[in-house]
Chains A and B, each alone.
Chain A
Amino acid sequence: MKPQDGSSLKVGPGATSAVGMVLGLVAQAAFFPGLLPGFPSLDVIGAFTVALAILGHRRHALFLALFGGLTLDALTGQFIGLTALCYFIAVLIVISIQKNLVKEALTTPAVVMIAAFMLKELIYLFVLVSSGLVFMPARVMSQLAVSSILNACLGTGVYWALHMKMGLQVHVDREF
């Protein structure tokens, strides 16, 4: 964190991805399931990852997507790399369009968040179904909708806190 005008703190992308990783692991795997049993999974790492991607911090977003996803997978020891792959592809798509997004209002980031979380869940589900698992279609649709909307709300909140309250700036890549 770097001081800004001596009055407030300005966060950098490195600190954001580190905090997102630690907070995400603790919250996603332990705290939220204990606090809200039966509630759809709240994707904190995904929220930080997509927020960083929207703001153009490509390297940090990809780092968090890969390492955060791999660590989450390693905690349960199944389908290692699946969460990382879902984050990675979702982040790549957000990065590819981020230059065209309006970043100073919350509407566009919120829409991107919904799309990113839905894409992430669809990729996850696609791999599971490809490996022979069967899910009930009605439940899949409702789970997809509810979890995407909830996580988009969380992600928009994270984006608002990071960009509008804590001063995480848009990264402009002049060589891109």
Chain B
Amino acid sequence: MRRISGTVRAFMAIFAVIIVLSVAIAATTGNRTNLTLPEKLIRGIFSPVGHFFWNIGREVSDFFGGLFHLSSIVEENRGLKEEVEALRSDVARLSGLESENRRLSDLLALKKSFKGRTLAANVVYRDSGNWLGTVVIDRGTEDGVKPGMAVINSLGIVGRIVTTTGSTASVLLANDPRNAMGAVTVRSRDFAIVEGVGDGTGVLRLKPLGADPDIVPGDLVVTSGLGGIYPADHIIGEVVDVDEGAYGMAKVAYVRSSVDFSRIEEVLVLLDGQRGAAK
């Protein structure tokens, strides 16, 4: 008897946990702009720690990237091997600094090309799953960041702000399936909607709005500025494939984004929204 009641209790507890989690998921599925206090606390505690370990990961990655690049030179210059060995660690460190310097210079040039106010930010950590695309940056409401602001880098559109705390903000990346933006092809001026496909790569789905769109692989796609979030004429990417669909009625194209979403490190937040369009 006691054994049965224990089993029933266990099943009831399992059922209750599943119900509570399901309710929490349902309540946080849509567009959230405000985080709860526990979420803000967890993020506030974790952000500096996450930023620290993110940087360590990057440094290690840059270091081994530098070593990998040097290995071909070592092969060609066996006579200089000893000298190369001595310099290897310095070069690996400098190659990381050089790439960071290049990224920051690009970002500065981009910042100068805007009419509106912009804010530079660093990625501190990212979504730990395989299916969604979200990164957290080290700027929040204290710096003027609000949900709905566009986020870009020197390569193109990165995404938009969805939630904020005082010192951090979540960026929904353009390749997340929840993201959609107005777009136009540069060659044929066909208006379309570009949305994420959530596969973790830089491929985006382009759905033309017109009846008989003229879209071919190689077409450059830029933002149309019609959605109210992203400024016009920012590069989204290049068409890599066109699916004509049944009877040519449901043409869909796939766009390779100019941004490498897995390597986003520094970004610009457009504080003035549409006014942040390029000069």
Contact = CB atoms under 8 A, between A and B. Distances in A.
Interface in B129-182: 129-132, 134, 136, 162-163, 170, 177-178
Contacts of B46: 25, 29, 75
B53 A81 contact: no
Interface string A118-161: 00010011011001011110011001000100000000000000
Interface in B42-65: 42-43, 46, 49-58, 60-61
A84 B21 contact: yes
B94 interface: no
Interface residues of B, number: 54
Contacts of A26: 49-50, 53
B53 A77 contact: no
Contacts of B128: 28-29, 33, 41, 43, 72, 75-76, 83
A85 B25 contact: yes
A88 B17 contact: yes
B22 interface: yes
A122 to B, nearest CB: 11
Contacts of A41: 128-130
B35 A125 contact: no
A139 B21 contact: no
Nearest to A41: B130
B24 interface: yes
Interface stretch (B195-203, B212-220, B232-240): B195-203
Q: Which of B131, B163, B177 has the most CB of A within 10 A?
A: B131
B8 to A, nearest CB: 15
Contacts of B20: 81
Contacts, number: 159
B77 interface: no
A35 B28 contact: no
A131 B29 contact: yes
Given A40-B200, A77-B163, A29 B263 contact: no
Nearest to A36: B61
Contact of A79 (B29, B52, B54, B56): B29
Nearest to A82: B25
Contacts of B35: 77
A127 B55 CA distance: 32
Where chain A touches its partner, the secondary structure class is helix
A169 interface: no
B132 A80 contact: no
Given A33-B54, A135-B198, A135-B199, A78 B132 contact: yes
A35 B198 contact: no
Contact of A134 (B29, B55, B197): B197
A6 interface: no
B50 A29 contact: yes
A105 interface: no
B130 A121 contact: yes
Contact of A30 (B27, B29, B43, B54): B54
B125 interface: yes
Nearest to A66: B17
B222 interface: no
Given A29-B125, A79-B28, A34 B56 contact: yes
Contact of B129 (A37, A124, A136): A124
Given A34-B57, A74-B39, A133 B178 contact: yes
Interface in A82-117: 82-85, 88-89, 92
Nearest to B6: A175
Contact of A143 (B17, B56, B178, B200): B200
A128 B54 contact: no
A143 B39 contact: no
Interface of A: 25-41, 43, 66, 71-72, 74-85, 88-89, 92, 121, 124-125, 127-128, 131, 133-136, 139-140, 143, 147
8 contacts: A30-B51, A30-B52, A30-B57, A36-B57, A37-B260, A77-B28, A78-B28, A78-B134
Interface of B: 14, 17-18, 20-22, 24-25, 27-29, 32, 35, 38-39, 42-43, 46, 49-58, 60-61, 124-132, 134, 136, 162-163, 170, 177-178, 197-201, 260, 262-263
